[in-house]
Each structure stands twice: as structure tokens, then as C-alpha cells.
Amino acid sequence: MRRTVLFVSDGTAITAETFGHSLLTQFSGTEFRQVRLPFVDTVNKARDTVDMINRAGQADQAWPLVFSTIIDAEVAAVAFWPKSRKLSANRGRS
């Protein structure tokens, strides 16, 4: 099974990546496609991140894992609580 993992930050994303790697080592037998998204520091970049999360979920047929260290509340709200994302009963995503 392949899962996409995104390390998202409004800085370099090194902290999110380090934290994520420490957790991913607990899952042997799973192939992870790792994507680092640094400098997600505007609402527009957050919207692009949402699009990437959704595309990865569609490609993998499972929600991607997202490790984030975004500090700005407005940017984080757009990236991780978008109004357009609704869970469907059959696939777990919109």
C-alpha cells in the first residue's frame, strides 16, 4: 500500500519532516511517497496545499498523512479546515 506523506510548514518544513520521519519508522511494509512543502505562508499557498492534499488522496485512494508546523492561524485554517472538504461515507473524502 502506498501513502503520500506531506510535511507542511510556513518555514523550512525541517521540523515537520523530522517529526514525521520519527513516526513513519513505526510502519514497516508501507511505501511512503514523501513531499516537503516549505514556506506555505500565504492563503493562496494554503489553497494550493489543499489541492495537493486532495489530488494525493485521489491518487492513493486514501487520505495522505500531513505533518504541519504552520503557525499562522489564518493560513492553517485554509490549509486544514477548508469548508469545501466533506467526508463521504464510501471513500472517506470528497
89, part of any domain: no
Q: What is the mean pLDDT of residues 22-39?
A: 93
Instruction: Please check whether residue 20 lies inside any domain of the structure.
Output: yes
Give a yes or no: residue 94 inside a domain: no
1 pLDDT band, cuts 50/70/90, is confident
Spatial separation of the C-alpha atoms in residues 5 and 32, rounded to whole Å = 6
Query: 86 in a domain, yes or no?
Result: no
Q: Do the bridges between strand 2-8 and strand 31-37 make them parallel or antiparallel, or are there none, so unpaired?
A: parallel
Range of the domain at 8: 2-80
Number of domains, the chain? 1
Residue 90: pLDDT above 90? no
Question: What's this model's pTM, rounded to 2 decimal places?
Answer: 0.81
- Whether the pLDDT of residue 64 is over 70: the answer is yes
Q: Is the pLDDT of residue 89 over 70?
A: no
The dihedrals phi and psi of 74, each to the nearest 5 degrees, come to -65, -45
Percent of the chain with pLDDT over 90: 70
Stretch 21-46: mean pLDDT: 94
| 65 assigned to some structural domain | yes
Cell numbers 514497516: residue:
28
What is the rounded CA–CA span in Å between residue 43 and residue 28? 35
